[in-house]
Structure 1
Amino acid sequence: MNGVLEGKTAVVTGAAKGIGRAVAEALSAAGAHVVAVDIDGDGAAATAAALASATAKQCDVRDEAAVGRLFDEVVAERSRVDVLVAAAGVARVGPLVGMSLADWHSVLSVDLDGVFLCATRAAAAMSTTGGGSIITIASIKAFGGSPAIGHYGAAKAGVVSLTKTLALEMRDHGIRANAICPGWIGTDMVFDRTAELESARRRHGRGDRPPAGSARRACRDRAAGGVPRLRSLVVLFRRHLRRRRWRHRVPGLTPIPSSPKGPPIWQPSTP
């Protein structure tokens, strides 16, 4: 993994903890300069301080003006954006019937609107420098109903569709867009709501079983801060970086596989 992203600039939202922090670590291990972004500025700074090459930015992804300033600053400081990982997300627990519009928006404004704002601004920046990669963090909840977290599932389904559309619209600009859809991951956001999720599963007789206490122990805690390593997601993400599947043909270029597991080498197409 060392050097795969040497010289690249990667923006990671939700980088203060959980999946976002694990992804920031994986990108840093691959050689990228990481811009750690979070609404928790101190948390973002702590993540950046733990990485080889990183800067921290405080940003509320729900705020269109703030997101615009974020990418303007990154381009001004680093000249380009090569990778965006939109990992900022929240979850609430509650049935759809009786849910207020404010509660509905409290999840979708971060999990869907925030992804839209960051992905479109990143795509605009990438289109001027030859392309890049946009990775969104969706969920298996995008593909089926789940009691008590319907607003979360709806947001993640929107993220999957948004990502597919972005891949089609931006392929001629050399920009790839892919969604990662993990299952239960041992983060504080999940474990803080385990009892509520288990109660909803029993009450409705369906839904996935949230991870038990052993799942928390399975996540190797970091010595500093007790942040889970999230091994399974890091492995998945590293595979994504290593293979970098180019699903859309780049105009004027032909892929030549460099190795069975390596990324393709692109050369000018023969007329």
Structure 2
Amino acid sequence: MNVSFAHALVTGGATGIGRAIALELANAGMDVTICGRRAEPLEKVAAENPKLHAMTADVTDEASVARLYEEAEAARGPFDVVIANAGIASSAPAHKTTLEEWNRILGVNLTGAFLTVRPALKGMADRGRGRVIFVASVAGLRGSAYVAPYVASKHGVIGLTRALAAELLKKGVTVNAICPGYVETEMLEESIRRVMEKTGRSEAEARQGFAEINPNHRLVQPEEVAAAALWLVSDAAISVTGEAIPISGGA
């Protein structure tokens, strides 16, 4: 698969989907800056491929993102590809969801996604080429109980995807969202632990419960999401923009 871009940013690059995407792009020959809040796990991932470069940043902090761009682009050139992957989730009935929790989830998942990509947009448009990918969720395509802030944030990400795609349509820049179902990641492990604590189910039972929410009754693997990201970055996907692509076993 031909990839003609040189430098990518992947947020939330230390674990799960972010790590898998970063490795996929690095294996395709790109320099990839991975970021997150904690240096140690980022550096561990960066050690897996010399094309990976770890930097700490907080996607909810405008100044932190600006510093990331300044330092990474000075070292490796402008970002041709930006993948806004950082995200968080929690679970509670809507009537028990505090404003603080609502703001926390939307701050990372939606505002953080916007702050991640905004600094790249003008440069991509001026150069006439670029790729923006948001890692959203099937929760951005449908309703789901007990995760109202998460669902709202991911619907917002898909709206942002479509808005930016329309804005950049004639600029040589594509903007798409990938919408996974339940993926076997560290975030899922946290959800499994919560189910075990609240219901008394075994780990195997809790895991199977999440797998069965995906229509094909299997958990998506991070590498499957990474393969879709690589295709969207490739020259083959130049005409794909404004799409929300489910990777969910048929949801």
Structure 2 residues not aligned, in runs of 5+: 200-208, 213-217, 242-251
2:153 partner SS? helix
**1:168-219 CA-partner distances (Å, limit 9, x unpaired):** 112232211000111110111012113646979xxxxxxxx5127xxxxx88
Structure 1 counterpart of 2:17, from 16, 19, 27: 19
1:210 partner SS? helix
Query: Number of aligned pairs?
Result: 226
Structure 1 residues not aligned, in runs of 5+: 201-208, 213-217, 220-227, 249-271
- Choose between structure 1 and 2: higher helix proportion: 2
For 1:211, the equivalent position in structure 2 comes to 211
**1:73-108 CA-partner distances (Å, limit 9, x unpaired):** 222222211001111011111111121110111111
- Separation in 1, partners of 2:43, 2:125: 28
Task: Please say if residues 81 and 233 of structure 2, whose CA atoms lie closer than 8 Å, have aligned partners that are also in contact.
Answer: no
For 2:231, the equivalent position in structure 1 comes to 239
Rg comparison, structure with higher value: 1
Compared CA separation, residues 239 and 172, structure 1 to 2 (3 A):
closer
For 1:134, the equivalent position in structure 2 comes to 132
For 1:47, the equivalent position in structure 2 comes to 45
**1:3-45 CA-partner distances (Å, limit 9, x unpaired):** x336610100000001000000111111110001111222222
Structure 2 counterpart of 1:34, from 32, 35, 43: 32
Higher RCO (CA < 8 A, seq sep 6+): 2
Task: Please say if residues 13 and 22 of structure 2, whose CA atoms lie closer than 8 Å, have aligned partners that are also in contact.
Answer: yes
1:81 partner SS? coil
For 1:121, the equivalent position in structure 2 comes to 119
Structure 2 counterpart of 1:230, from 222, 225, 241: 222
1:77 partner SS? helix
- Percent of aligned pairs with the same residue? 32
Structure 1 counterpart of 2:173, from 167, 172, 175: 175
| 2:145 is aligned with 1:147 | yes
Task: Please say if residues 36 and 45 of structure 1, whose CA atoms lie closer than 8 Å, have aligned partners that are also in contact.
Answer: no
The residue type paired with residue 104 of structure 1 is: W
Q: How far does residue 164 in structure 1 lie from its aligned partner after superposition?
A: 0.7
Task: Please say if residues 131 and 173 of structure 1, whose CA atoms lie closer than 8 Å, have aligned partners that are also in contact.
Answer: yes
Task: Please say if residues 22 and 52 of structure 2, whose CA atoms lie closer than 8 Å, have aligned partners that are also in contact.
Answer: no
Structure 2 counterpart of 1:160, from 151, 158, 161: 158
For 1:186, the equivalent position in structure 2 comes to 184
- Separation in 2, partners of 1:191, 1:173: 40
- Separation in 1, partners of 2:5, 2:228: 22
For 2:103, the equivalent position in structure 1 comes to 105
2:119 partner SS? helix
Q: Which moves more between the two structures, 120-129 or 55-64?
A: 120-129
Compared CA separation, residues 114 and 158, structure 1 to 2 (3 A):
same
1:112 partner SS? helix
The residue type paired with residue 119 of structure 1 is: V
| TM-score normalised over the length of structure 1 | 0.76
Compared CA separation, residues 78 and 190, structure 1 to 2 (3 A):
same
Task: Please say if residues 5 and 80 of structure 2, whose CA atoms lie closer than 8 Å, have aligned partners that are also in contact.
Answer: no
- Separation in 2, partners of 1:42, 1:179: 28
Task: Please say if residues 194 and 211 of structure 1, whose CA atoms lie closer than 8 Å, have aligned partners that are also in contact.
Answer: no
2:79 partner SS? coil
For 1:265, the equivalent position in structure 2 comes to none
- Separation in 2, partners of 1:67, 1:128: 21
Q: How far does residue 247 in structure 1 lie from its aligned partner after superposition?
A: 4.0
- Separation in 2, partners of 1:138, 1:229: 15
For 2:56, the equivalent position in structure 1 comes to 58
1:37 partner SS? strand
